[in-house]
């Protein structure tokens, strides 16, 4: 993207909290969802925008359901960085590993957030242990804990490149 603009795409398993993360970062964000048994699920994308220092950050949230691989491919075009949301109550699953492998192959700058840390069942330490060498920020998209700090830290690494 042009100078001063960053496209960051948010990936993660179904139900990890991608849409909630973008909502927490930008309360005016837009979400294209359908109703599933578990509640709303992303069927197209989330879109949020916020300023981080002198960078205009454009956030695109992907659908977590496996069948929407084609949507993830389209949203990935021209991304400057990727954030993978992991549900810290369920841990690093096969879908997370699949996404991680794809993004690593693309050599795109990457960070992880371990979400749902407000939940008593969350084990962010296990997420860190399962992703050796990677940056993992513990967050709660529900109450907003650490969401801005996590994004700010990631944007700083992108800006420094
Ligand atoms: N306790 C807790 N629940 C959360 C948090 N973030 C999201 N949730 C819940 O997790 C569920 C899924 O949240 P979404 O933000 O829709 O997850 P998603 O990753 O966008 O899901 P898909 O688009 O279907 O892949 C919802 O019931 C949320 O309320 C959190 O930080 N803490
Ligand atoms: Mg979603």
Separation of alpha carbons 117 and 102, rounded Å: 26
From atom 24 of ligand 1, which residue's Cα is the shortest distance away? 41
pLDDT digit string, tens, across residues 46-92: 999 999 999 999 999 999 999 999 999 999 999 999 999 999 999 99
From atom 12 of ligand 1, which residue's Cα is the shortest distance away? 15
**At how many degrees (to 10) do helices 147-159 and 18-25 cross?**
90
Domain count, the chain: 1
Give the mutation target among 13, 17, 144 for probing the ligand 1 site: most ligand atoms within 8 A of CB.
17
The domain of 109 spans: 5-159
Look at residue 2 and tell me whether its pLDDT is greater than 60: no
**Would you state the structure tokens that stand for residue 23, as one six-digit string?**
């909502």
CATH assignment at residue 53: 3.40.50.300
Spell out a b/e string for 69-85, using b for 16 or more CB atoms within 10 Å of the CB, else e.
eebbeebbeebbbbbbb
The answer to whether residues 45 and 32 touch, using CB atoms and an 8 Å cutoff, is yes
> Is this prediction's pTM over 0.85?
yes
Give distance in angstroms: CA of 41 to centre of ligand 1. 9
């Amino acid at each position: 993207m042009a100078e001063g603009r960053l496209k960051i795409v948010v990936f993660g398993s179904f139900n990890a909290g991608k849409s909630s993360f973008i909502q927490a970062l930008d309360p005016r964000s837009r979400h294209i969802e359908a109703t599933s048994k578990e509640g709303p699920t992303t069927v197209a994308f989330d879109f949020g925008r916020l300023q981080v220092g002198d960078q205009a950050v454009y956030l695109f949230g992907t659908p977590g359901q496996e069948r929407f691989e084609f949507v993830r491919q389209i949203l990935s075009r021209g991304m400057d960085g990727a954030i993978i949301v992991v549900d810290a109550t369920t841990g690093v699953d096969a879908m997370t590993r699949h996404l991680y492998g794809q993004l690593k192959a693309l050599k795109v700058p990457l960070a992880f957030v371990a979400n749902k840390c407000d939940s008593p069942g969350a084990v962010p330490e296990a997420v860190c242990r399962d992703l050796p060498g990677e940056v993992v920020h513990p967050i709660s998209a529900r109450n907003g804990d650490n969401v801005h700090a996590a994004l700010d830290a990631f944007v700083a690494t992108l800006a420094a490149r």
